Amino acid sequence: AQKVTQAQTEISVVEKEDVTLDCVYETRDTTYYLFWYKQPPSGELVFLIRRNSFDEQNEISGRYSWNFQKSTSSFNFTITASQVVDSAVYFCALSGGKSGGYQKVTFGIGTKLQVIP
Amino acid sequence: NAGVTQTPKFRVLKTGQSMTLLCAQDMNHEYMYWYRQDPGMGLRLIHYSVGEGTTAKGEVPDGYNVSRLKKQNFLLGLESAAPSQTSVYFCASSYLGNTEAFFGQGTRLTVV
């Protein structure tokens, strides 16, 4: 079975602070995919990033960056210079092939980020 | 550019009533999914479909049925609603099982 743990249920930061959202995963698959989604107060989930298990390069997109470390089974997400618009629930998710197929994506419980102006 | 559209957005049901949630996507995706979101539990997969005419069970399928008669539509049915089915339901679609999913805006269902 596959599992995604987001130990931080809620985080509050002051605007312009950096914040890291942790994601730890478990899987027996050698090929798997990791995702981050954002759910703003409006409710709809928005895709942020997808990473496959063979690509450990860190990714940067504007103020967002992701650190993938297979050695610690972690896929952490950092927001630099946070803004109020970053306030949302962020989900980490895992898709592994042997766990019944890639379509059976496992989501973490989410981390609610509040950015205080 | 509609993407994934769910109807209705809100619904209140009495215990024992039935209803159908409709999901439509215009991206020609093969894969479609129904999730439920509950506080402290993230998103859990109810049922999914890998193509027109096919459906399969996810993590929490009991009490729900689905149909995919047309590629662009994925219906979720509750035959006899129970208070435990009070939740926010999300439909999603993707090109492949391991590619990004596009989500609908959600349906907030309350069963009293």
Size of interface A-B (CB pairs under 8 A): 61
Model confidence pLDDT, tens digit, residues A5-55: 999 999 999 999 999 999 999 998 889 999 999 999 999 999 999 999 998
CB distance B15 to B81 below 8 Å: yes
Of B40, B42, B99, the CB nearest to A91: B42
- Does B97 contact A110 at a Cβ distance shorter than 8 Å? no
Amino acid A103: pLDDT: 73
Residue A96, pLDDT score: 83
**Chain A residues in contact with B106 (beta carbon < 8 A):** 43-44
Backbone region of residue A116 per phi and psi (left: phi > 0; alpha: psi in -120 to 50; beta: other values): beta
Local confidence band at B4 (pLDDT 50, 70, 90 cut-offs): very high
Would you say B102 and B26 are in contact if contact means Cβ atoms under 8 Å apart?
no
**Closest by alpha carbon to B29, among B52, B47, B8, B7?**
B52
- pLDDT > 70 in chain A, percent: 96
Q: Report pLDDT for A98.
A: 63
The answer for residues whose C-beta is within 8 angstroms of residue A28's C-beta and 6 or more apart is A2, A96, A98, A99
Task: pLDDT band for B37, please (50, 70, 90 cuts).
Answer: very high
Return the DSSP state at A102.
Answer: T
Q: How is residue A42 written in tokens?
A: 């409006």
What confidence category does residue A83 fall into, taking pLDDT thresholds of 50, 70 and 90?
very high
Mapping DSSP to helix (H, G, I), strand (E, B) and coil, where does residue A71 land?
helix
Q: pLDDT tens across B73-103, in order? A: 999 999 999 999 999 999 999 998 889 999 9
Q: Exposed, middle or buried by CB within 10 Å (0-12, 13-18, 19+), for A9?
A: exposed
pLDDT score at B62: 97
B31 at the A interface (CB within 8 A)?
Answer: yes
